[in-house]
Amino acid sequence: MFTKKTIYWLLNIAFWSLITGLMGFAYWINGNGLNLEIWQFIMDFISVFLLSIFYTHQLKRSINRFIQFDDLKGIDAFKILGLLLGSILLFYITYTLYIQFTYHFIYDRADVFDHESQGLKSNILFILNYTIYFLVWSGFYVAVKGLMELNNGRETRLQLESNLKESQLNTLKGQINPHFMFNSLNNIRGLMLEDVDRARNMLTSLSETLRYSLTKSDANAIALEDELEMVKNYVEISKIQFEDRLQFETNVDKASLSTQIPPMIIQMLVENAIKHGISNLKEGGKVSLSTNIKDSQLLIEVTNTGNLRPSQNSTQLGLKNIKQRLQLLYGEAATFSFKEIENQVVAIIKIPVA
């Protein structure tokens, strides 16, 4: 795989090989007006070729030194033009000195300077031609360099956004375990003085829940089937506290079991339904969980007896957590909503299925 440096040199050599070759061809087919020997002809055009590469490379270094491609301004166009004209002037001076030296002291052809092709008009035409060549070269280089810097800037922004997103997700995941543990340990503390056996059963279910949390919550997505096992353990813990006041039923489409979802997301919905729905009802109520796949989306619904009036003591931390995680992971492709239907609260999550 070619590096950027290698590609630059290959393109530079190819460009000036083409220009010099065309100039040499045009000179030769026009009759070799200066009556040069073939070796003199070759030497002259090799010199022009090398000088062109040298001064365009110096022009490139100067552009990179004085131009900030990630913060281009209008004045930069004048800077580039100044560097371009300076490079052409130095190229012409060096080329003229080379011609004077070689034709006087190496070729012994001082008569060449009396030829009409060496007059002012020809020299002006030569300068104009090379101004165009240098302009094309520098324009191409600046365009490519600018696009590369733009792409690098975009990649850098995407990487920063990705790092920020990962950091935000880790922060949100860090909110999940303390939130869940606080509620569960409160339940155990309240039950410990009443029924040791039930407390032991709760601890067993809690240990399974913690095992899941430690092994799965670091992932951005887990299988729905694993999440349902976690929910089952959580409900068992909650049933010990609520006894007959809590009824739980599921209606899970088997085709959805392998679908990937964010960990703890259904557990938090069920927890919210129990804590802010069932616990506020003297007679208790029912929590229903259903999943199915429709129109390339996983539809998760958690329904509980109650209404949408928020508890005065509720911070809605869990629900905010769910919304933020869905937004970070799926953007606008996922939705999270609530609605109340005949004294029942329905929480609905829609996640795109890959």
- Identify whether residues 196 and 92 lie together within a single domain: no
Do residue 193 and residue 300 come from a single domain?
yes
Classify residue 145: in a domain, yes or no: no
Q: Is-contact 351 330, C-beta < 8 A?
A: yes
Domains held by the chain: number = 2
pLDDT-wise least confident of 65-79, 115-129, 137-151:
115-129
Whether 189 and 320 map to the same domain: the answer is yes
Looking at the fold, whether 261 and 341 belong to one and the same domain comes out as yes
Specify the pLDDT at position 100.
Answer: 84
Per-residue pLDDT, 118: 66
Q: Which of 84, 118, 152 represents a domain boundary (last residue)? A: 118
The amino acid at residue 281 is: L
- Within a domain: 71: yes
Between 295 and 69, name the one with better pLDDT: 295
Per-residue tokens: 32: 């070799």
Query: By mean pLDDT, which of 7-21, 73-87, 208-222, 332-346 is the weakest?
Result: 208-222
Mean per-residue pLDDT, 26-49: 75
Q: Rounded to two decimals, what is the model's pTM? A: 0.51
* Residue with the larger pLDDT of the pair 37 and 224: 224
Out of 13-22, 39-48, 209-218, 279-288, least confident range? 209-218
One domain for residues 284 and 173: yes
CB 241 within 8 A of CB 206: no
- How far apart are the C-alpha atoms of 26 and 29, rounded to whole Å? 5
Condensed to tens digits (0 to 9), the pLDDT of residues 190-218 reads 777 777 777 787 788 778 777 776 676 66
Q: 309 pLDDT exceeds 80?
A: no
Residue 222 and residue 318 in one domain: yes
The domain boundary, picked from 118, 148, 179, lies at 118
Residue 276 near residue 306 (C-beta atoms within 8 A)? yes
What pLDDT is attached to residue 23? 82
343 and 200 part of one domain: yes
- The answer to whether residue 123 is domain-embedded is no
Clarify whether residues 180 and 288 are in a common domain: yes
Q: Residue 129: its pLDDT value, please? A: 85
Q: Do 300 and 349 contact (CB within 8 A), yes or no? A: yes
Strand pairing of 260-261 and 222-223? antiparallel
Which of 29-33, 138-142, 276-280 is the least confident region?
A: 29-33
Q: Which tens digit of pLDDT belongs to each residue from 286-303?
A: 999 999 998 899 999 999
User: Could you tell me the pLDDT band of residue 219, with boundaries at 50, 70 and 90?
Assistant: confident
Read off the pLDDT band of 284 (50, 70, 90): confident
Query: Any idea which of 188-202, 204-218, 231-245, 307-321 has the lowest mean pLDDT?
Result: 307-321
Residue 171 sits in the same domain as residue 98? no
Nearest alpha carbon to residue 260 among 215, 293, 211, 305: 293
Average pLDDT (237-265) is: 86
Q: Is the predicted pLDDT of residue 173 greater than 60, yes or no?
A: no
Last residue of a domain, one of 91, 118, 145: 118
- Is residue 133 one of the residues assigned to a domain? no
- Considering the domain architecture, whether residues 177 and 322 belong to the same structural domain is answered as yes
Residue 144 burial by Cβ neighbours in a 10 Å radius (0-12, 13-18, 19+): middle
Assign 3-class secondary structure to the chain: CCCHHHHHHHHHHHHHHHHHHHHHHHHHHCCCCCCCCHHHHHHHHHHHHHHHHHHHHHHHHHHHHHCCHHHCCCHHHHHHHHHHHHHHHHHHHHHHHHHHHHHHHHCCCHHHHHCHHHCHHHHHHHHHHHHHHHHHHHHHHHHHHHHHHHHHHHHHHHHHHHHHHHHHHHHHHHHHHHHHHHHHHHHHHHHHCCCHHHHHHHHHHHHHHHHHHHHHCCCCCEEHHHHHHHHHHHHHHHHHHHHHHEEEEEEECHHHCCCEECCCHHHHHHHHHHHHCHHHCCCCEEEEEEEEEECCEEEEEEEEECCCCCCCCCCCHHHHHHHHHHHHHHHHHCEEEEEECCCEEEEEEEEECC
Rounded to the nearest integer, the mean pLDDT of the chain is: 81
Question: Given pLDDT bands bounded at 50, 70 and 90, which one contains residue 30?
Answer: low
pLDDT of residue 119: 65
Assess if residue 310 is contained within a domain.
yes
CATH at residue 330: 3.30.565.10
User: Is 158 part of any domain?
Assistant: no
Average pLDDT, stretch 31-40?
68
pLDDT at 90 over 80: yes
Residue 138 belongs to a domain: no
Residue 234 has a CB neighbour count (10 Å cut-off) of 26
Residue 198 lies in a domain: yes
Same domain, 95 and 177: no
CB atoms within 10 A of CB 109: 16
pLDDT of 42:
81
**pLDDT at residue 26 in the model:** 77
Does residue 64 register a pLDDT over 70? yes
Predicted pLDDT of residue 288: 94
Q: What percent of the chain has pLDDT over 90?
A: 14
Residues 122-142 have pLDDT tens digits of 778 888 888 898 889 888 888
What's the domain range around 102? 4-118
Shared domain for 182 and 317, answered yes or no, is yes
Q: In terms of pLDDT, which residue wins out, 182 or 169?
A: 182
CA dist 347 → 70, 128, 169, 186, 277 (Å): 47, 74, 22, 25, 12
